[in-house]
Amino acid sequence: MENVVTWAGQAGVAAESGQVSPKRTALGYYPVSWKHPFSERDRPLDYDVCVIGGAGHVGLPLSVAFAAKGKRVIIYDTNEDALATISSGRMPFMEASCEGVLQNTIQKTLFTSGDPTSISGAKFVVVIVGTPVDEHLNPMHEQLWRFFNEIGAHLRDGQIVILRSTVYPGTTSNIRRRLKKKLPGIEVCFACERILEGKAMEELYKLPQIIAGEDSQAVAEVTELFRNLTAEIIVTGCIEAELTKLFNNSWRYIQFATANQFYMISEMYGANFYEIYSAMTHNYPRAANFPRPGFAAGPCLFKDTMQLNAFASNNFHIGSSAMLINEGLPNFLVNRLKLSHDLNEMTVGILGMAFKGESDDPRESLSYKLRKILLTEANEVLCSDEYIRDERFVPAEELIRRSDVVMIAAPHKTYKSLDYSGKILVDVWNHVGSAGGGVKPV
């Protein structure tokens, strides 16, 4: 890496010489000034795109996709292990069809860096770091502001920052205003990511890209960039784009909640939900997209619905209800089991700890909530997953052999063909088909 002094270095040297005293705030030390004494901001633009958070679940496929289109891309990320894995041409997580493209591009048009000075070497700076909600389900604005304070010393006039993280409405304008106070020539746009984790390399090229920004020239430049990936670009206002993303995810979360609520109602009255599901959806176009019940959580749907609820002054009632229903499904399943079985005397096995089938992503997975509930209710709890490596887990066959009750929490494909005979099987997904359903011709 070239010899460039970062803000941290600058502060250290300056503090020693007594020239600058970094400001102490509730959130830590902030730069007093983003004016850089050396030439980081005068360096040539070596890259087209810097993806901050580019080693993550959505940042990496995007980086790979741009690199495959001939853009020079630098991934900047703080996760050194993931960077090392990527540099060696391997994926740090499952993402269909991504590894081959990664291998074709790494060290050619795709580069990695753990050094924030790399940010100043790109025309477009894509930001795709996590945007969680806090323990009270509120958006964490300060975390994002702190992030921009940290990278601020490496931004420069003429760059276009592209927010790709899912953000609280108003964030694009807010960040733009804050950055422009220090760098009047910088621009900020929003270009939300709407891929399905695991299908990124397909959907990045298929889905329309929504782009928003307050400066029409910057929007035009970002549009041109994304035309490398997809033909269809939709330009909207900033708040409209931010809300589009939150509405998309909340709508999906509500649909899952509806299916889960119908499942619970059916179960409570001894009705076979899957017979109803088949009758509802078979050759009936208006219910064609009705989802099946199952654990609905993961890194996006829950927190995005809660962001929208916070934005709606906690009056997004249908979103709050969806959260209660989806989060309540593990409790419902355990309570139903308790009605007919003495769990205190039983071993319960959980198959699938990822937040969804055919994924190795455990983030915000309801399987862990299920485990937590069962730890207080059952004699013993065993866990297994096809894709997540965890020394506490046991192989699926062993889990079935040792368990009295087997619960399918994430429907990985291999679980379809296992032998569950002699076991109490809880399969909300009807993954192995034991609940019947299907339309019986008369």
Ligand X SMILES: NC(=O)c1ccc[n+]([C@@H]2O[C@H](COP(=O)([O-])OP(=O)(O)OC[C@H]3O[C@@H](n4cnc5c(N)ncnc54)[C@H](O)[C@@H]3O)[C@@H](O)[C@H]2O)c1
| Closer by beta carbon to ligand X, 239 or else 418 | 239
Q: Out of 11, 58, 183, 334, name the contact with ligand X by CB under 6 A.
A: 58
324 burial type by CB count under 10 A (0-12 exposed, 13-18 middle, 19+ buried): exposed
- By three-state DSSP, how is residue 108 classified? coil
CB 213 within 8 A of CB 189: yes
CB 415 within 8 A of CB 351: yes
Query: Which range touches ligand X (CB under 6 A), out of 43-51, 72-80, 223-231, 427-435?
Result: 72-80
> Can you list the positions of beta strands (E) in 8-137?
23-25, 28-30, 47-52, 73-76, 110-113, 122-127
| Closer by beta carbon to ligand X, 213 or else 298 | 298
Q: Out of 131, 281, 384, 403, name the contact with ligand X by CB under 6 A.
A: 131
Give Cα 17 distance to the centre of its chain. Answer: 44
d(CA 161, CA 180): 11
79 is a contact residue toward ligand X (CB under 6 A) = yes
| Closer by beta carbon to ligand X, 275 or else 364 | 364
| Closer by beta carbon to ligand X, 194 or else 423 | 194
| Closer by beta carbon to ligand X, 166 or else 403 | 166
Q: Out of 7, 47, 111, 147, name the contact with ligand X by CB under 6 A.
A: 147
Query: What's the min distance (Å) between Cβ of 196 and ligand X?
Result: 7
Site for ligand X, residues 149 to 188, rule: CB under 6 A: 165-166
Binding-residue pattern over the window 354 to 373 for ligand X, x denoting contact by CB under 6 A: --------------------
Q: Out of 31, 59, 139, 357, name the contact with ligand X by CB under 6 A.
A: 59
CB 179 within 8 A of CB 145: no
Q: Out of 40, 41, 56, 263, name the contact with ligand X by CB under 6 A.
A: 56
CB 32 within 8 A of CB 23: yes
> Do the strands 73-76 and 47-52 form a parallel or antiparallel pair, or are they unpaired?
parallel
- Count the site residues for ligand X by CB under 6 A: 24
List phi, psi (to 5°) of 215.
Answer: -115, 120
Residue 366 has which token pair? 């309801």
130 is a contact residue toward ligand X (CB under 6 A) = yes
Query: Cβ contacts of residue 223 below 8 Å, gap of 6+?
Result: 211, 233, 235
Binding-residue pattern over the window 269 to 308 for ligand X, x denoting contact by CB under 6 A: ------------------------------xx--------
| Closer by beta carbon to ligand X, 154 or else 396 | 154
d(CA 266, CA 294): 14
Residue count of the chain, please give it: 442
Q: Out of 21, 33, 39, 78, name the contact with ligand X by CB under 6 A.
A: 78
Q: Out of 40, 187, 197, 242, name the contact with ligand X by CB under 6 A.
A: 197
Query: Which range touches ligand X (CB under 6 A), out of 78-86, 97-105, 287-295, 351-359?
Result: 78-86
| Closer by beta carbon to ligand X, 161 or else 378 | 161
Give the helix ranges, DSSP H, for 18-105.
Answer: 59-68, 80-87, 98-105
51 is a contact residue toward ligand X (CB under 6 A) = no
Query: Which range touches ligand X (CB under 6 A), out of 10-18, 53-61, 225-233, 280-288?
Result: 53-61
- By three-state DSSP, how is residue 203 classified? helix
Q: Out of 77, 95, 242, 427, name the contact with ligand X by CB under 6 A.
A: 77
Q: Out of 40, 48, 95, 193, name the contact with ligand X by CB under 6 A.
A: 193
Say how many C-beta atoms besides its own lie within 10 A of residue 282's C-beta: 11
| Closer by beta carbon to ligand X, 264 or else 300 | 300
CB 69 within 8 A of CB 106: no
List phi, psi (to 5°) of 212.
Answer: -145, 155
- DSSP secondary structure, 135-164, as one string: TTS-B-HHHHHHHHHHHGGG--TT-EEEE-
| Closest CB to ligand X: residue number | 56
d(CA 136, CA 130): 17
Query: What's the min distance (Å) between Cβ of 359 and ligand X?
Result: 10
Which residues contact ligand X (rule: CB under 6 A)?
52-53, 55-59, 76-79, 82, 128-131, 147, 165-166, 193, 195, 197, 299-300
